[in-house]
Every structure is written in structure tokens, then in C-alpha cells.
Structure 1
Amino acid sequence: MNKPLDLARIPVDHDDIDTNDSPNEHFSAVVQARMSRRSLLRGGAASAATALFGAVSLSACGGSDNDNVATSPNPPTGNTPATPPAEKLLGFTAVSKSLADAVVVPAGYTATVLYALGDPLTANTPAFKNDGTDGDWENRAGDHHDGMEFFALSATNGPATTVNDRGVLAMNHEATTDEKLSSFFVHANGGTMSLPRPAAEVDKEMALHGLSTVEVRKNGSKWEYLKDSALNRRVHQQTEIEIAGPARGNALMVTKYSTNGTKTRGTLNNCGTGKTPWNTYLSGEENWSGYFNRSATDDAARGNDKSVAALKRYGRNQGDASRHGWETGGAEDRFQRWNNSRKGTSLDGSDDYRNEMNAMGYIVEMDPYDKTKAIKKRTALGRFAHESAAFGKPVAGQPLAVYMGDDSRNEYIYKYVSNAAWATADANPADRIATGDKYLDNGKLYVAKFNADGSGQWIELSVTNSAIAGYAGYKFADQADVVVNARLAADAVGATKMDRPEWCSVNPANGEIYFSLTNNSNRRVEPSGSSQAAPDAANPRAYTDQKGTATQAGNVNGHILRVKEGAAGSTALGFTWDVYLFGAEAKAAAASINLSGLSEDQDFSSPDGLAFSAATGICWIQTDDGAYTDVTNCMMLAGLPGQVGDGKKVTLSYPRANGAANLALDTYVGKAATPDTLKRFLVGPVGSEITGIAETPDGKALFVNIQHPGEGTAAANVGDPSKYTSQWPSNAGYGAGKRPRSATIVITKNDGGRIGT
């Protein structure tokens, strides 16, 4: 979701709030090390064999014939050429920055709306009116389309590796566009802004969050979704989900709903995704803690036991109000579960929902091909504010590695390594969820520590680790306690605090892992207070930036980190790292800000979504920015990646107050980018975040999600479309009404070629 810098993405929310008060070193204080910036942009990686994500191209079902939203500077005319020109990666003309309420793509490309908030997923669900009166939300597309994956469909509705014209698109629905308590665009009058919330409003909002699967196909030259497909599905806050892995059946998971601690309901605030080597969908639960309410006297009600420390570490202090007030919807169980206070008299929590929050914050696995299979939360991968989950390149006979980030200020980067070695026969198993049990329920969870010399270590988070077993801040009972409270375990072993790790992805050309570190408003040359940190070699920028009349301070524009594993591959305990790309404004006055030397066709702020194309090797970078949105809407860029260590050393010098000696920093910056190695490919509508990337196996259709266009509109204006900050996609000819809607677009090349060429 769009946010200013790294503050809460929505002012009333608790997203991205720093709850880490451990004394561990910050990434900014760790290193005197190498950083290379534009390695992502370097190299000529072409096709890659290992698929890291799926994608489809689609076109709108039920939309008009005028739903083409491409607004390229030179729209193409005429018919598709019979013979495409020779392919050149990044051969398109870069898109300029834009403040238009439109999706802008390069000349020679077409972007078409496919699937938007409220679209029906069954034949019996009425068409979406988009006036706040629509019902049956458990059978409609949810809100805030986010991460997604494409799963090709065979003729028998099973997995396929080479089908490019039919598939299932699995998608996250992260949140809603809010003011105060209400998701106002989906309520007729803007919704109720005070407590208690009406049950009907709460039910609608709970259904808007979660996941969807939708069948898509190419029909002639256009893509469409099938609203009556048996493969369509909504997963929402009443959907039963199994607890799997070390925490299954543990005392920490006991609730009134599941007195044996083996199940829960719903998946919440889903952001990034992953695709397993056995063709299932992984979804990360990100900023979930803010949905829960705690009473002002709950610490004492719990006897000030260790659960109080755990709740505070995950952002729930006593007295914290919930994001939407769902717990006030009524006395029914579906509402009361959002009250995380101790209300019952039982010792184990079986008569209330004091432990309910322990069932949120995981990587969730779902089989997109089979609705009869259980959905499972894979607790072995740890509990935190998950973004995406990226698999290292599978190697027969070696364990699988999964890389993850915790998206809050001063949180950590993690790796999970399976106990089971990869067997190639498991790429097409009879039971895909059972295969997930094999690889994702039993393994080792690690956290990263970054050293000043450009090296790093993976530290195992095990209850047998002496630092964890003897940790004074929290007494861990067992391994389930470690994974449920992974943040506390990472504190105990001295992991490196990072600047909001968002999405991660693996370069198919060389297996290096990329992490988006979106920004940090708490960087200062001379820090004041424990929440601020000085710049250092790995986080060398601390500067002021103007947005209109407002001054922004810190590492305003973010950067991207990359990691190269040691010789042992997935099981390596050591790695090397650098920072290969810094976001910045091209016109930044100081060279210490625009360290990557970005041009007007390349500059960006706050990298978030990140994925490599398996077909072309292009690295797609998406932004969720609030710092540069006075100049341009959020965007997506295409880069050609290099490798760790391909840069040069640069020395920066910052003046300090009161005559103190300058702060001198050495850092490493990658090879200079050229127009052939980094280009802006897309700019979105007003108020939107660009998020979610998926492609067909041949790379000729690319899905991109446009999240929360129109954010910044006041709820009081919900009845006056002229006051909306955006009317997209209705202004592109898609659907009824004028209220803005999150939506999925599909991008195709007019000559039939691969995207990004």
C-alpha cells in the first residue's frame, strides 16, 4: 500500500512500525563494507531455465471494447507485423515520469484491465455496481490486489509447463482503502467512522481481505477471466486453515475456535508471494497485528507473563486499538476473535482469543489447482511481517532454501532450509500439499548477520542455541516458541537490523538473492535518540529531500541489497553481499544522494515489488512511494542484473555540527548503468502502488497489479466522483461506477514479442 516514506502505510494503521528495541546492531551501523549499486542493471542475462514466478496476460471479461489503458507517448497503429523485429532486451523507449490518472506503458505495448475489485467469481453473482451497495463479497474479487503467481493449466486442469494461453492466477488481497476505521469506497455512504462498527460493514471488510484464484485464458488476441470457472475461489477471514509445522498443536495456538491448536480462520494482510517447485502458491502475511485489539488492562489480566513481552515485540501494547474495530461488530465469535485480550478464566486460552494473534504472520501454502486440499500455514518458516518467499535454485540431492524478509523498520532477513533433499520427481507430485509437508514443515530457520567486510553469516534459530536458550528477554519453551516468536529469537542471536526488507527474488542466471529495502526516515548524520541511526558504509545516505513545501529526512528513497551464498549453496552458513542499486531523484544536488547516477529515464524511489523474469532474465522493480509522488506516480522499471562485487569504492564525507570532524564513509557502487541496462517501463494512476508481477512461461504476457488508486480521497467525498483523486479504471472504460478500484492489468507487445524487449 502507498505510504509516505516508511511511516505507516495508512495513517490509522500500525503498518511498518518499529517494535525492535533490542541492542542488536543496525545494518547502518554494521558495515564498513562494499556496496554496489547497479549490479541489478548489469550483465546480459537472457533466457533462464528456472521459473521463479508465473504470469499471465489477460483481458477484461465483461469490460467494454475500449478498456485498453495503454497511454504510451506514441500509440501504435495498424496491424501486428507479420515478422517481429530482432529481439533486444530493454529495447523499448523508456517511459517518462507521469502524474496522469492512467497506466502509461512504452510505445509498442498495450495494457488492458482484466480483473478488478468486486468482479464476480461465480455465474450467479451479480455484476458489480461499484456504488457501495454490492453484496456477496465472498464470491467477488477482493481489494488491494498485491502479489500474484500464474499457474499454467493443462487440458485436464492440472499443471503444465509450456501452456501460454490458459491458467489460474492466484492473488493476494492485502487490505482496503481506509479513512479512520472504514473501508469507505465499498460502503454506500462511506461507512461508519466510529465504534461500534455495524456487523454488515465488518463482514464486507473481512471478506475483502485474503486470497483469490481465478481462471484466465486467451480468447483470440485478448485475455479474459472466466467468472464461472470451477477453479475460481475466494479465501477470506472465515475460511478454515490448518496450522502446520512445529507450532501445530502447541499451547501457543490454543483458542476457543481450536482448543487443540491445529487450525485457525483466514489469512490476513497478504502481501508478497512465492511459487514452490511443486506448483503451489505461497502467500506472506504482512502487517496483521494492527487488526487486533488489546484492552488497557490486559497486561495484568495475563499476570504479566511472557506473552506480554511477545505481544509488545509484535506491535500490540495493551490499550492498542484495532485498525478497523472489527471486534465491535457484535457478540458473535467471528467478531470477538479480533479481541486479543485475556477475557476467559482458562489457563490455556481455550475459552477466549488471547492466543489468536499467534496464528497470524506466516507463509501460507495453497494448491491453486485443487480446492479440496487444505490450506496450510507453514510455521517452520517463522512468524513476522512476511513479504514474499523466494526459493533458491533447486538442486537434486540438496535441501531447498527459502528467503524471506520482515517488513518493518529495524527488522531482519531470514532463510529457511528444508531437512529433506530435493527430489526432481516432486516437481509433479500426486499430492502437492503433502509435498509441501515434506519440504516446508521440517527444516532449519536462520537469520542474517551482515559484517563490515562484505561477508555475512546465517545464524540458526534453534531452541538449542545457547544464545536463545539463555536469552534474558524471553524464555523460550520449545522450537514452536522459537518460530512463533522468531523476532525475539533473532534479537537473542544478535541479527542485523535492516531497513524494512520488503520483497525478495532470486536471479535465475546466477542464484543471487535480491532484497528490496524500501527506505528509512530515521537515518541521521548525528542521530538523536535510539530510533535514529547514523549512515555507514552499507547505508551511506542521510539527507534532506523536498516534497513540495515539506522536508523529508533520512534515507528517503531506499535501496536494493543482494546476497551471494557460499560454496555450499542452500546450506551455506556464510555469504557475501553488496547494495547494488540506490533509489534517488535524478536531479538530486549531491552525488552522495544519487549514488547510482540515475537519469531522468531511470530515477525512482522506494523499491518494493521485485521479481525476475524466467523467460528473459529481466529484473522488474516496482515502487510503493510517498517521497517522490509530487513528481511522478509510482512505477515499474526493467533492469538487466549483474553480480555481487562488480562495483568500485566511493568515499563520502558528511559535515557535522559544532566543528566536529566530518563523517567519512567508504562505500561500493556498481558499474555505471546505461540506457540499455535500466529503464522505466510503466507508471501507474494517481494514488496507486505498483505491485505484483507474473508472466506466462513464454514471457509474452505480463500481469501487473495496480493497488489502491485514488488513495488520498477523503471519505466525505465518496458521493462526489469529481473529488476523487483517481477514477481509474472506470476512466479507462472498465466497469460500472466511478469509484476507483484495485485491478490487475495484462501487458502485451503489439508485435507479439516478449515483454521488455
Structure 2
Amino acid sequence: MAKKDLDPNYNDPNYEPVVNESGNLPFASVLANRMERRALMKGSVGAVLLGVMGGAGLSVAGEGHRGNGHPSNHSRAHLNSRLGFAAVGVSTLNQVVVPEGYSARAFVPWGTPLTGTLPEFFDDGSNSGADQEQQVGMHHDGVHFFPIDLKNGGNSSSEGLLVMNHEYINQNALHPAGATTFADGSRPDDEVRKEVAAHGVSVIHIRQDAVGNWSVVHGSAYNRRVTGGTEMDIRGPARGFGKLVTRFSPDATTTRGTLNNCAMGPTPWGTYLAAEENWHGYFANGDPVRPKEHVRHGVGSASRYDWEKAAGGADEYVRFNASASGASASDDYRNEPNTFGFMVEIDPFNPAARPQKRTALGRFGHEGVIFAPVEEGKPVVCYSGDDSRFEYIYKFVSAKPYHAATADGSLLDEGTLYVARFNDDGTGVWLPLSLDDDGFVAKMNAAVAAGRVGDIAFDAPFSSQADVLVNTRLAADIAGATPMDRPEWGAVDPASGKVYFTLTNNSRRSPDDTNAANPQGPNPNGHIIYWREQGNKHASSRFVWDIFVFAGESGTETVVDGKSVVTLDDSNLFNSPDGLWFDYNGRLWIQTDGSDAPPYQNNMMLAADPRTRDIRRFFVGPVGCEVTGVVTTPDCRTMFVNIQHPRGNWPDVNVDRPRDATVIVTRDDGGVIGG
């Protein structure tokens, strides 16, 4: 992955460790009947890869995907397409490339003054930790635009709150000469403070002027930084649970900070959910025996940035040492990692409101969360992927119904968390992770009798629903979920209700452990899967699924029911799909985070028409970057795209330091983006 080229920390396999040793490969032989893996090689350009759907009920024929008498693939895909632009080619330029008739410019780069005294960004890296706490964070990721009048029922496209995650950091760019480590192994306090502050979330009040230029509204009360040190409340079933007790919070009701925030999710009631993804690497546990809550997530003996070694020994940094050093959990931070791995709710319209960790949505490597369209009087439904190799896709269904007049984040504190099993025949089932479900309890008791789940000792049942949720990955292992190829961003088609998920890649999957939903071993390029819930009801316990497109080189085909529905060519070849978003006009935007070698070159963003599978490259990022996070204003005339970990001196050729930034894309004629 491109991010692993950034500094030595990301070449460590423990950055995204394979920690699922459950042996959940229930469909290892499913390809024999319906799937021919790499059935036909077309010279050196790639494989024909087959979808598995047939009569299981995911109707695409009526949407022009296939059917007798239709023209084949590309000639059909361009008929009545929602896409109205000419595809751009691949690029190796250290700049953003967009189609003819479009313009792009960098906006709110890392270090932009935001709050307090509005400290100026110093291009030599000499800003202090206190400065960074008042500036836009580093490594922009998931992003959403909230119209400024949203709470009053409006949909302004000229003023709003741009809210974004900051996933991780580049220490070499953050400090004048990279990270400092003293002879005794400790680290300077202010460097650690600055690194913690560069993580988290930025809430940025922005406004468009009469000629279309966007700027930050300095002095706005909405401008806000949420960092790796911000105090937060723990909500849901794990609030008060003993395994979240720490020296900071002996009653297990609060914690500090959110880290490694990747994708996100806007809620139906106008708040922002930040996802905690690869948070495990921020902690060190040197104990000879680590608890299952650490082992199943990869918490090891060394931390990524050595924050626990801050020279001053401040409690806010000591907490990253998760070893058992005191007489009990209330005397140390052995449980600090258990307060991470959740979705964190932030109200961008209420700067005084503390962020809330919503534990009912489960604890794992959340890539993001996507809500199904809400219906008055019906449960709230949302989906989340666990971004690691051989992990799972989850769904939460609230216990209480949605009512627009009263809805708030408390709807996410009670409900049922499910994990997906993808069957070989194109059907699927949502498996409840609940002690109220007899089937799950029976499987749990069987695991206790066996004494192990994979390589993890399991000699006692979960003590409560809080215990299930703190050990979500282990519970999903027990339930029998399907291990996936790094499930990342999801998106729900506003027209059809189908749910789409990117499966980015999996270099560790072997040809012998494939399953129908993940048919390639290894899977270097990834694919996109989609499903329809039974009866078009998102709270249903069953679904039917298919593969939307396989990524790969020119010539890679996706075949459904014996017919090619997509053949990639120079206009749309791509690898490692990651970001995914449906715009307000039903276009599906696909972002990549993969190899920047030929033939793919720099990472990119493509647009797809889900009805026709017409896919075209719309945007290519600068050298070394990941293209991640996309949203438009409600009128779809301004697009915001995030660029993470660029190399060199992008976006300012006069500054010898890369700066993550948001890119504003507009049509020169003021029209709708992509139309």
C-alpha cells in the first residue's frame, strides 16, 4: 500500500496484522459449482472473473446490466449513462488531473490556522504542539459537508461545515528533522503533543463568495479540533464495563482521544461519526501474557510512535503503555486499548458537546459507517467494514425506531449488531452477535468446550453483552462469519437501496482458502461487492449478493451469468478500490489506495453508473498519494476530495514539505460534477 512507503513504521507487518486465526473458511470449496477462478487468461492482460449470481434474486437485468438482445458491455454502458465527461488517462504528474472543462485547487492543507490564536503554519516544521492543536490536522481522510442551515431544514451549497478525519502522521514532515528519540529511549514531550494533536478530526466552517471561491470563516465558533487527547464519553453497552476501567476513568465512563480515523459516516440527525481503524499500533503491552482483547487486535510489545515514552511522564502519554503495572486496572492503563476501536460521534453544530464513543456498533478496525435511508417509525440501520485481511462486514439495527423530530445518537446505544455470512449460491445471512440469540449462545458454548477460538484461549463464556461488543472480532469468529479481503468503505444506492462495499485487496489469501465472495487467492487488485436486503428491507436478516466489478489491468472482465458486464480498458483500469460514495444524483464514486506502479500509476478516483456499470476515470492524484474522502455540496456543483500522504512538495512547489490537503473540484461552466 502507498501509505506503507511513507516511513519505516508502515513497512512493519504489524501495521495491519493478520490476527484472524479463527479458521473461518466455511466456503473453501464453493467455487466448484458456480465460479471458475481465472477461467480464461487473455494474453498477459488479465483474467475473466465470474460473478456468482444466477437465480438468487438480485435483479440487475432490468437495470440494463445484462439480458438477451442487449448490446455487449461498453457499447451498452455508454447508452443513457449518468456520466457526462470524457475519462482522463493515468498520470505520473505531481499534480491533480481532472477532465477537460473542470478545475481543481488545493484547500485547507495540513497546518491551516483554524482555532484560538490562529497560529501561522511554518514550512520548516517548527510549529509547536500547542500550535498544532489549533491547526487543521494531518493526513486528511473521510470528509463530509454539512450545510450551515441543515438543522433548520435547509440545504445550503454555499456555506457549511467541512468535517474531516486525520488518519495518521508523517513524522518526517511533522517535525523539522523527523522524530527525536533521546539516548534513554524517551521522546520530547512537545513532539509527542504535536503528534497526538495532528490526529483526530477538524470541523471547518467554510463559505463561498459571489465569484465561487471558498474560504475558511476565521473566528467562527464552529471551527474545532478534536484530537487524540480530547476527553470523550463512553456510551452504549460497554459504558461502565470492567474491561474499560482505567486510572483516568475508574468507573469506565470516559476516555481520551480518537485515533487512526479513516472513513466516517454522517448520521440522519446531522452529526458526524469518525471511525477508529488501525488504533492497535498506538499501544504497547510488554506483559508475557496479553488478554484476548489485545491479541485479537494485534496490540504488541512496541507502539508505533513511542508516545508512552514521553520524557515528562505525563499521564496523558503514559496511558499508551497497556502493560499491567499497577495493583488493579484502576491503577494503570492495561484497559486503555479497550476504549478504542469504536465509532465516535461528534456534533459539528455544538462545539461544546463532548464526543461520544458508540460501543453498540462494535469494537474492531472500523473503516467507516454508512446508514441506510431512514424511514419514520422504523429502526435505524447502518453498515461498517473491518479493514484488515480476513475480517468481516457488520450491520447494526437499532432497538428503537427513528423519528425525525427527536432522533439523536442515543438511537445507536441500543440494538443488535450482526456480522455477514456470504453463501456460495449468492445468498447471505446476517448472524446476530447477541447473548439473547440462542444460536449464538450455542456456538459460544461450543467454543468454550473446545477451549479455543483459533489461536486464542476461550475457556469461559462472554460475561455480558458488553463483553461481546468489546470482543466483537472474536464473537464474529464464533458466529461463523465470512472472512473478507479487507472490507473498507460502504455506500448505499439512494435509488435502488443496494449496499456496495469495497474489498481492497488481500496479498495473504492463498488459492486454497478462497470463498465465493473473495474468489481470488491472492487478491492483489481487489473488487467491489454489493447486495440487496431481502424484501428491500435493510433490517432484514437475509440478503442476495453479487460482485459489481473486479479491479485490475486493461482486459480484466467481470462476468455475470456467462455475460461480460465490465471489461476494463485504459479509461478505467484501477486497483485497490478503497473510498466509495454515492452522490446526490446516484453516481458511485470509487477511490483507490494501491500500487502507483504501471499500469495504474498515481492513485485515482473513478465514477460509475450503477445501472449500466459504465465506469470512467475522473480524477488522478499527485505522486505517492492516496485519494480518499469525497463529498459534494447538495447541488453537486462543488466537490471536495481529500489527498493523503503526497510526496515531495505538493501542493505548494515553494514549500519543501508535503502537505495533505482537500481538493476543490468545479466545472468551469458551473454545472453538476460528473454530469
Report the TM-score, using the length of structure 1 for normalisation: 0.77
> Map of 1:254-653 to 2, 5 A cutoff?
254-295=245-286, 297-299=287-289, 308-317=291-300, 320-330=301-311, 331-346=313-328, 349-426=329-406, 435-437=408-410, 439-464=411-436, 465-466=440-441, 467-472=443-448, 473=452, 474=458, 475-525=461-511, 527=512, 533=513, 535-542=514-521, 554-567=522-535, 569-586=537-554, 596-614=566-584, 616-626=585-595, 628=597, 631-642=600-611
Q: Which residue of 1 aligns with 2:72?
A: none
Matched residue of 1:167: which SS? strand
Alignment of 1:93 onto 2:86: yes
> Map of 1:685-700 to 2, 5 A cutoff?
685-700=622-637
Matched residue of 1:216: which SS? strand
Alignment of 1:137 onto 2:151: no
Q: Provide Cα deviations, 1:63-122, integer angstroms capped at 9, x if missing partner.
A: xxxxxxxxxxxxxxxxxxxxxxxx973111111000000000001111111111000003
Q: Counterparts of 1:748 and 1:756 in 2: how far apart (Å)?
A: 10
Q: Which residue of 2 aligns with 1:78?
A: none
| Letter aligned with residue 130 of structure 1 | D
Q: Which residue of 2 aligns with 1:163?
A: 156
| Letter aligned with residue 569 of structure 2 | S
Q: Counterparts of 1:340 and 1:701 in 2: how far apart (Å)?
A: 44
| Letter aligned with residue 321 of structure 1 | A
Q: Counterparts of 2:218 and 2:400 in 1: how far apart (Å)?
A: 39
| Letter aligned with residue 295 of structure 2 | K
Q: What percentage of residue pairs aligned between the two structures are identical?
A: 44
Q: Counterparts of 2:21 and 2:339 in 1: how far apart (Å)?
A: 23
**Relative contact order, CA 8 A, sep 6+: which one is greater?**
1
| Letter aligned with residue 585 of structure 1 | E
Alignment of 1:126 onto 2:109: no
| Letter aligned with residue 587 of structure 2 | I
Matched residue of 2:196: which SS? helix
Alignment of 1:2 onto 2:19: no
Q: Provide Cα deviations, 1:529-581, integer angstroms capped at 9, x if missing partner.
A: xxxx2x45433334xxxxxxxxxxx2110000111101271321110011111
Alignment of 1:102 onto 2:95: yes
Cα 1:424–1:158 change in 2 (3 A) is: closer
Alignment of 1:202 onto 2:197: no
CA contact (8 A) 2:593 2:627 kept: yes
> Map of 1:67-86 to 2, 5 A cutoff?
none
Matched residue of 1:482: which SS? helix
CA contact (8 A) 2:580 2:588 kept: yes
Alignment of 1:678 onto 2:615: yes
Cα 1:121–1:30 change in 2 (3 A) is: farther
1:728 CA displacement: 0.5
**Alignment: residue pair count:** 617
Matched residue of 2:133: which SS? helix
CA contact (8 A) 1:102 1:728 kept: yes
Q: Counterparts of 1:267 and 1:216 in 2: how far apart (Å)?
A: 24
CA contact (8 A) 1:503 1:516 kept: yes
1:162 CA displacement: 2.2
Cα 1:30–1:14 change in 2 (3 A) is: farther
Q: Counterparts of 2:558 and 2:161 in 1: how far apart (Å)?
A: 47
Matched residue of 2:628: which SS? strand
1:448 CA displacement: 0.6
Q: Counterparts of 2:492 and 2:127 in 1: how far apart (Å)?
A: 41
| Letter aligned with residue 339 of structure 2 | A
CA contact (8 A) 2:503 2:529 kept: yes
1:191 CA displacement: 2.3
In angstroms, what is the RMSD of aligned CA positions?
2.7
Q: Counterparts of 1:231 and 1:611 in 2: how far apart (Å)?
A: 25
Q: Counterparts of 1:707 and 1:685 in 2: how far apart (Å)?
A: 10
1:159 CA displacement: 4.9
Counterpart of 1:151 (choices 128, 142, 146) is 146
Counterpart of 2:230 (choices 221, 235, 239) is 239
CA contact (8 A) 2:283 2:320 kept: yes
CA contact (8 A) 2:644 2:660 kept: yes
Alignment of 1:706 onto 2:675: no
Q: Counterparts of 1:741 and 1:42 in 2: how far apart (Å)?
A: 46
Cα 1:147–1:204 change in 2 (3 A) is: same
Q: Which residue of 1 aligns with 2:20?
A: 20
Q: Counterparts of 2:309 and 2:571 in 1: how far apart (Å)?
A: 49
Cα 1:362–1:40 change in 2 (3 A) is: farther
Matched residue of 1:585: which SS? coil
| Letter aligned with residue 419 of structure 2 | V
Q: Counterparts of 1:234 and 1:370 in 2: how far apart (Å)?
A: 13
Report the TM-score, using the length of structure 2 for normalisation: 0.87
1:469 CA displacement: 4.7
CA contact (8 A) 2:4 2:11 kept: no
Cα 1:678–1:196 change in 2 (3 A) is: same
Matched residue of 2:246: which SS? coil
Q: Counterparts of 1:756 and 1:170 in 2: how far apart (Å)?
A: 23
Cα 1:256–1:4 change in 2 (3 A) is: closer
Cα 1:557–1:9 change in 2 (3 A) is: farther
Q: Provide Cα deviations, 1:176-212, integer angstroms capped at 9, x if missing partner.
A: 12xxxxx111111222267322212111101111011
